Amino acid sequence: MALSGIQIYKLLPQTNCKECGFPTCLAFAMKLAAKQVELSACPYVTEESIALLAESSAPPIRLVSLKSDGYETKAGNEVVLFRHEKTFYNKPGLFVKVVDTESPEAIKAKISAADRYVVNYVGIELTVDGFAIEAASGDPEKFSAAVKLAREASKRPLILVSRDPSIISAGLKALEAGESALIHGADKSNWEVMAALAQEHKAALAVISTDLETSADLTEKIRGKGVEDLAIDPDTTGLGAMLTFNTIARRMALKKNFKPLGFPIIVFPKDLVAATQAISKYAGFVVIDDFKPDEVYPLLVLRQNIYTDPQKPIQVQPGVYEINNPNSEAPVLVTTNFSITYFSVANEVEGSGLPAWLMVCDAEGMSVLTAWAAGKFDAERIAKSVKGSDLASKVSPKRVVLPGHVAVLSGELEEELPGWDVRVGPREAVDIPKFLKEAL
């Protein structure tokens, strides 16, 4: 179990020597508890403490990483059941499935299209992570050919799907040197051979079972053969069954430190709804049947949202937002990119029914007063944002409205923005409609 800062502190020398780079042993202990530093930074910690701390800091869910030329997809290392408790760390890999019975052209076309796919979400480029090749043919050669086709069309990591070791073996041989794929997978009857293959090819191995006891048995046996990078598949098409399986597996790993289930979960959802659930509820790898942008786009966005760190200040993209179709006479309102600040300002302006240009400045996600106090929201930055936009050519008269809390900046801003009429708006967002109606 993870130790608290005070518990770790008791294992440290308590000399406050500062050599670790922190002012006190307690400060260092709290950073250790938050996993933001390495214990090795302390030169005086005893062997005994190192052993105790190592045990407490081992990840309850193993980090499994699939690698190929230039790409890596990680799953695992999660520490909470609910994202607000800390955060979810490794976004589940989104894999698109192809079947080796399809024509080579179809396989190649599907993989190429998905491989090229990029969608921009709030300035982040989102893509799929890799491909799963399923051996429906039952023919090792066909499978091997499909794997080779995939490798021609994409460099992204692969999941090889078959319960037949001879087929998997053929597929693994078709891979490029140095990559680590995921074999899907092992069951009661084939686990031993599959484990040997995984070890030989440095591949990860998924175990497939609808019940948790079998899954745990399999992972234990396979680990006994020296294969550590595993995944577990609930092997179900039902939403309810998947949710229950995933939740119990995660709970066992986190709350009971039960190693046999401390692995990422791989899910083959039957439809978009099941994929949605898989992303929200604990899947580490998600394999979808079809590549459709109208499905992949929202899935990638959902994954991004669910795996946002709730501890970080919530930011919106800096830039100019148009509210109520502003024309050239509409004023330019200035605020910061802290999302709550932005939302409250935008809502009030929207609710007023009056048009405005909302200039959101990059204040590192701080509210107006905090950002001003910390020097992240000053006349220079505001002027830079205004100049960096094309507002000067869009509005006339050129009116810019500062939040009332930073009235002090009005003089400097006038100097920074010659030709602009600098006004001071209200301090609270609720007063914006009144201000827009009466003062402008």
Partner 1 sequence: MPIEIPKDKWPGSVRQVVLGATAAEGGTRTSKVVVGGETCMPFMHFEGAIPNRPVVALEIRDRRPDDWSPLLVKTWENVIDDPAAWAKAAEEVGADAIQLTLSLTDSAGQPMSPETAVATVKAVLQASGLPLIVFGPGQSEVDNLLLVAVAEATKGERLALGICEDKNYRTIVATAMANDHVITARSPMDVNLAKQLNILISDMGLPLDRVIMDPTTGALGYGIEYGYSVMERLRLAALQGDAMTQLPMLVTPGYEAWKTKESKVGEGVPESWGDWLQRAINWETMTAIALLEAGANILVLRHPESLKQVEAAIQDLMTAPDMVSV
Partner 2 sequence: MKEFTVRFDLGDKAVQVPSGTLLSEAAQLAGIDVNQPCGGQGRCGRCAVQILDGTVRRRSTLRLTTEDVALGYALACQTVVEGDVDVHVPAQEKIERRLTTDLTVAEVRVPSDYLFSADQSIRRVKLNLSEPNMDDQTDDLSRLLTALRQQVGLAPVTVSLATLRKLGGILREGQWEVTALLDTGTEVGEDLQPARLIDLLPGLVADIEPIWGAAIDIGTTTVTVWLVDLVSGQVRAQASEYNGQISRGEDVISRIVYAGKNSGDEELRQLVLATINSLIERVSQRAGEQAQDLSGRTVKAVVAGNSTMIHLLLGIPAASIRLSPFITAVNQPPLLTAQEVGIDIHPEATVDCLPGIASYVGADITAGVHASGMDLSEKITLFMDVGTNGEIVLGSEEWLVACACSAGPAFEGAGVANGMRATRGAIEEVWINNNDLEPNYRVIGGAKPAGICGSGLISLLAEMFITGIIDKAGNFNLHLETPRIREGAQGPEYVLAWKDETQTGKDIAITRVDVDNLLRTKGAIYAGYNVLAESVGVSMEMIEQMLIGGSFGKYINIEKAIQIGLLPDLPWDHFQFLGNTSVRGAYYALLDRKSRERITEIASKMTYIELSADNRFYDAFMSALFLPHTDLSKFPSVNGMFAG
Point out which residues bind partner 1 (CB under 8 A).
Answer: 82-84, 117-121, 210-213, 216-217, 220, 236, 238-241, 243-245, 247-248, 251-252, 255-256, 258, 260-261, 272-273, 276-277, 280-281, 292-299, 301-302, 305-306, 308, 310, 314, 339, 343
**For 19, which DSSP code?**
T
Q: Which amino acid is at 439?
A: A
Q: How many residues does the chain have?
A: 440
Of 52 and 239, which CB lies nearer to partner 1 in the complex structure?
239
Which ranges in 307-409 belong to alpha helices (H)? Answer: 339-352, 368-373, 379-388, 391-394
Give the one entry of partner 2, partner 1, none that residue 79 binds, where binding means its C-beta sits below a cut-off of 5 to 8 angstroms depending on kind.
none
Cα 275 to Cα 272, 289, 295, distances in angstroms: 5, 10, 10
> What's the angle, vertex CA 228, arms to CA 226 and CA 229, rounded to 5?
140
CA–centroid distance for 123 within its chain: 14
Q: Does 374 bind partner 2 (CB under 8 A)?
A: yes
Give the one entry of partner 1, partner 2, none that residue 260 binds, where binding means its C-beta sits below a cut-off of 5 to 8 angstroms depending on kind.
partner 1
Q: Does 16 bind partner 2 (CB under 8 A)?
A: yes
* Strands 421-424 vs 399-402: parallel, antiparallel or unpaired: parallel
Q: Which of residues 376, 384, 394, 399 is near partner 2 by CB under 8 A?
A: 376
The residue count for binding partner 2 (CB under 8 A) is 32
Which structure tokens are listed for 379? 């006349």
Of 124 and 374, which CB lies nearer to partner 1 in the complex structure?
124
**For 405, which DSSP code?**
G
Gap between the Cα atoms of 322 and 341, Å rounded: 16
Q: How many CB atoms lie within 10 A of CB 14?
A: 13
CA–centroid distance for 369 within its chain: 30
Q: Which of residues 104, 355, 404, 433 is near partner 2 by CB under 8 A?
A: 404
Give the one entry of partner 1, partner 2, none that residue 51 binds, where binding means its C-beta sits below a cut-off of 5 to 8 angstroms depending on kind.
none
Q: Which stretch binds partner 2 (CB under 8 A): 19-27, 40-48, 316-324, 344-352?
A: 19-27
- Cα torsion angle, 270, 275, 276, 282, sign: positive
Q: Which stretch binds partner 2 (CB under 8 A): 133-141, 159-167, 324-332, 369-377?
A: 369-377
Of 317, 295, 287, nearest to 385 by C-alpha is 317
In the complex, minimum distance from the CB of residue 204 to partner 1, in angstroms, rounded to a whole number: 21
End-to-end CA distance of the chain: 59
Binding mask 290-329 for partner 2 (x = CB under 8 A): --------------------xxxx----------------
Q: Does 422 bind partner 2 (CB under 8 A)?
A: yes
Of 107 and 249, which CB lies nearer to partner 1 in the complex structure?
249
Which structure tokens are listed for 78? 């999660």
**For 197, which DSSP code?**
H
Of 18 and 255, which CB lies nearer to partner 1 in the complex structure?
255
Binding mask 327-366 for partner 2 (x = CB under 8 A): -------------------------------------x--
Of 6 and 124, which CB lies nearer to partner 2 in the complex structure?
6
Q: Which stretch binds partner 2 (CB under 8 A): 212-220, 266-274, 324-332, 424-432?
A: 424-432
Q: Are 430 and 346 in contact (CB under 8 A)?
A: no
Of 124, 99, 84, 67, nearest to 297 by C-alpha is 124
Residues that bind partner 2 (CB under 8 A): 4-7, 9, 16, 23-24, 26-27, 30, 310-313, 364, 370, 373-376, 404-405, 407-408, 410-411, 422-424, 426-427
